[in-house]
Amino acid sequence: MNETDPTPPPIPASFADDVPLGENPRDRDPITNVPGVIEALLRHPRRIIFHLNQGNASGRIIGLLLAVALVLIAVYGVIVGSFSGGVQWWAAPLKITAGLAATAAICLPSLYIFTCLSGSTAQLGEVTGALGGLLALATLLLIGFAPVAWLFSQSTASVAMMGFLHLTFWLVAAGFGVRFLRTALRRLGLQTESGLNVWVVIFLLVSLQMTTALRPLLGPGENAPLLPRSDDKKFFLVHWADSLDSPARR
Amino acid sequence: MSPIENSPGRRSAELGAMLRGEAGVLAGWVAEAAPGRTWRQAGIILVGAGAFGAAMGSWRAPEQAVFAAVKLPGILLGTAVGNALLNGLLAPLLGINLRLRASLAAVLTSFALAAAILGAFSPLMAFLVWNLPPLAPGHPETVGAHNVMLLTLVGVIAFAGVTANLRLLQLLRRLGGGDAEARRILFAWLAGNLLFGSQLSWILRPFIGSPGLPVEFLRAEAFHGNFFESVFHTVRQLWTDF
C-alpha cells in the first residue's frame, strides 16, 4: 500500500499573507532565470516583491520580468496575426509588442507619482519592477488563453467577434496583473489605494486606445496602411462601434 | 554643490519626499533654504512643466510645442518670483514667522510638486494628442476634440494644483502655525498667485493655439486687456445671448 499522502502541498499564502517580507525563508530564494520568474509569479509572488525591494539586486529581476512580458506578448501577437495571415503574421506581433511597451512607458511616470502621493517610499526601480510584474503575469495568462484564441481564429471570420474575444482575454489577464501590482505596492508601503485605482483606469484606457491607435491588428493588412492616417484618428469606443456596424471579415 | 548632493539618488529621494508630503523633511528644507535645492526645484519646474507644455502645444504645431514648453514653466517660475515679496510679507502678518527666503522656498516646493505631477502626465497628454484629429480649420471633428483636450487639461492641472496646495497646507501647519493660520496664509498666497499667474498666462497666450490664427510666441495684442476683463466680457456676452 502506498503510504505517501496524496494531498498536494498547499500553495504558499501569496497575496493575503501578513507576514513581513523576508521572514518566510522562501521569500529569499533567489530568482535567476526565466522559469524561476514564471514560477514565482504564479506560485510565490512575495519572492518577486522581496527581491524588488533589494536595491541594486532588483535590476536583474526587473529585466527578466520585462523580457518575459515582451516575448510572451509577441507570441500572443502571432496568434492574433494568424486570424488574417499575410502581412499580419509579422505586423500584428510587432505592433502589439510595441503597443504594450509604449503603454507601460506612458503610464510608468504617473504610476510612480500616484505611488508616492499614496505614501509609499518605493523607488522608481521598485515601481518599474511592480509594473513589470503586472505585464509579465498578464502576458503569461494571455499565453494560457492563446490556444482558445487560435481555435476561434481558425473557425471564425468575424473581426468584431475576434476583437471581443481578445479584449475579454486582455481584461481578465490585466485584472490578475493589477492584483499583483496592488499587492506589490502595498508591500512597498502604499497607504491608500484611491490613487492606484485612478491609475488602473488610466492604464486600461491607454491600453485600449493603443489597440485603436495601432489598428489594424485584426483583419486583412494588405490594403491598409500600417498605422491609421493622421485624418483617421478615433476614440476606441467609436472604433468599436464602427467595427460592429461594418461586416468586416478576415 | 558636492557631487553627492546632486546625485540622481538624492534628487529622486527629494522628489519622493515632496510627493509624499513628508512635512518634517519639507519644513527642514524651507528653514534651510539651500541654493542647491532651490536650483533643483527650478529644474523640476523647467522639465516637468516644460514637458507638459510641449505635449499640449504639439497638437497645433511643432513650433507651438517649443513655445509652450518655454512659456508654461515661465508662468510658474514668474509667479513664484513675482509674488515672492508679497508672499513673504503676508506670512508673518497672518501668523507664521517665515522669512522671505523661506516663504519663497515653500511656494517653490509646492510649484515643483505640481510641475512633477504635470511632467508625469505629459506622456499621457502626448498620447492623447497623437490620438486626436488634427487641429485644422474647418475640420469637422476639431470642436469635439478641442473639448476633450480642454477637459483633460483642466482635469490634470486641477489635480496637480490641488495636490500641491494640500501639501503646502501640511507644510505650513508644520512650520509653526496652527490650522487657522496655515489656512489663512494658504488662502492669501493662493489669491495673490491667482491674480499674478492668471494675468501672466493671459499675456503669454497662446499655449495650444487656434487653427485660424498663425503659430506665434505671443499674440500681437498680448498686452492689450487683461484676463479678468476678458472673463467679464464673456459673462456679459452670455447674459445678453440668453
For A174-195, write each residue's pLDDT tens digit. Answer: 999 999 999 999 988 888 999 9
Q: What distance lies between CA B234 and its chain's CA centroid?
A: 24
Where is mean pLDDT largest: A43-47, A86-90, B44-48, B213-217?
Answer: B44-48
- Cell output for A5: 499522502
B19/A contact by beta carbon, under 8 A: yes
Tally of CA atoms within 13 A in the half-sphere of A178 that contains its CB: 17
Cβ distance A109 to B12 less than 8 Å, yes or no, reads: no
Report how far residue A140's alpha carbon sits from residue A138's, in angstroms, rounded to the nearest whole number.
5
Adjacent-strand bridge partners of A249? A158
CA distance B62 to chain A (A): 15
Which residues 39-78 in chain A show a CB within 8 A of chain B? none
Q: Which residues of A touch B166 (CB under 8 A)?
A: none
Whether residue B93 contacts residue B58, with contact meaning beta carbons closer than 8 Å, is answered with no
Q: Is B64 exposed, middle or buried (0-12, 13-18, 19+ CB in 10 A)?
A: buried
* Whether B132 and A213 lie within 8 Å, measured CB to CB: no
For the cut 90, the answer to whether the pLDDT of residue A4 exceeds it is no
- With a cut of 90, say whether residue A198 has pLDDT above it: yes
In the predicted model, is pLDDT for residue A82 greater than 80? yes
> What does R_g of chain B's alpha carbons equal in angstroms?
19
A123 at the B interface (CB within 8 A)? yes
- How does pLDDT run across A126-159, given as a tens digit for each residue? 999 999 999 999 999 999 889 888 888 888 888 8
Could you tell me if B116 lies within 8 Å of chain A, comparing CB atoms?
yes
Which residues touch A164 (CB under 8 Å, ≥6 apart)? Answer: none
Please check whether residue A231 touches B, CB under 8 A: yes
| Residue B235 pLDDT | 82
Q: Is the peptide bond before B35 cis (omega within 30 degrees of 0)?
A: no
Whether the Cβ atoms of residue B34 and residue B106 lie closer than 8 Å to each other: no
Cβ distance of B123 and A106 shorter than 8 Å: yes
pLDDT band at residue A7 under the 50/70/90 scheme: low
Q: Above 60 in pLDDT, residue A16?
A: no
In this structure, the dihedral spanned by the alpha carbons of residues B55, B61, B62 and B63, taken in order and rounded to 10 degrees, is -110
Identify the closest residue of chain B to A202 by CA–CA distance: B124
- Cα distance between residue A236 and residue A241, in whole Å: 9
Q: Is residue B144 within 8 angstroms of chain A, CB to CB?
A: no
Can you give the pLDDT at residue A153? 85
Query: Three-state DSSP class for A158?
Result: strand
Query: Which of helix, strand or coil describes residue A216?
Result: coil
Name which of B20, B119, B122 is nearest A116 (Cβ-Cβ).
B20
What is the number of other CB atoms lying within 10 angstroms of the CB of residue B237?
10
Who's near B79: CB < 8 A, 6+ residues apart? B111, B193, B196, B197, B200
Q: Which residue has the cell 499580419?
A: A88
pLDDT of residue B8: 61
pLDDT band at A240 (very low <50, low <70, confident <90, very high): confident
Widest CA span in chain B:
64
Across chain A, mean pLDDT equals 85
| pLDDT (0 to 100) of residue A1 | 43
Which residues have C-beta within 8 Å of that of residue B209, sequence separation ≥ 6? B57, B60, B61, B64, B135, B215
* Predicted local confidence at residue B4, as pLDDT: 42
Which pLDDT band, with edges at 50, 70 and 90, does A12 fall under?
A: low
Residues A155-175: what's their mean pLDDT? 90
Mean per-residue pLDDT for A40-56? 84
- Candidates A69, A35, A206, A50; CA nearest to A137 is A69
Residues lower than pLDDT 70 in chain B? 1-11, 241-242
CA neighbours within 13 Å on the CB side: how many for B79?
Answer: 27
A110·B124 Cβ contact <8 A: yes
| Collapsed DSSP state (helix, strand, coil) of residue B98 | coil
The predicted-structure confidence for A32-41, as pLDDT tens digits, reads as follows: 888 888 988 8
Spatial distance between the Cα atoms of B33 and B27, rounded to a whole number of angstroms: 10
d(CA B42, CA A169): 45
* ipTM attached to this prediction: 0.73
Task: Provide the sign of the torsion angle of the four alpha carbons B177, B182, B185, B189, taken in this order.
Answer: positive
Q: Is B117 on the interface with A (CB under 8 A)?
A: yes
User: Are residues A189 and A122 in contact, defined by beta-carbon separation less than 8 angstroms?
Assistant: yes
- Grid cell in block for residue B25: 523633511
For residue A121, which residues of chain B lie inside 8 Å, CB to CB?
16, 20
Higher pLDDT, residue A171 or A46: A171
Bridge partners (DSSP) of residue A158 are: A249
Measured over the CA atoms of residue A99, residue A102, residue A108 and residue A110, the dihedral's sign is negative
Cell 512607458 sits on residue: A105
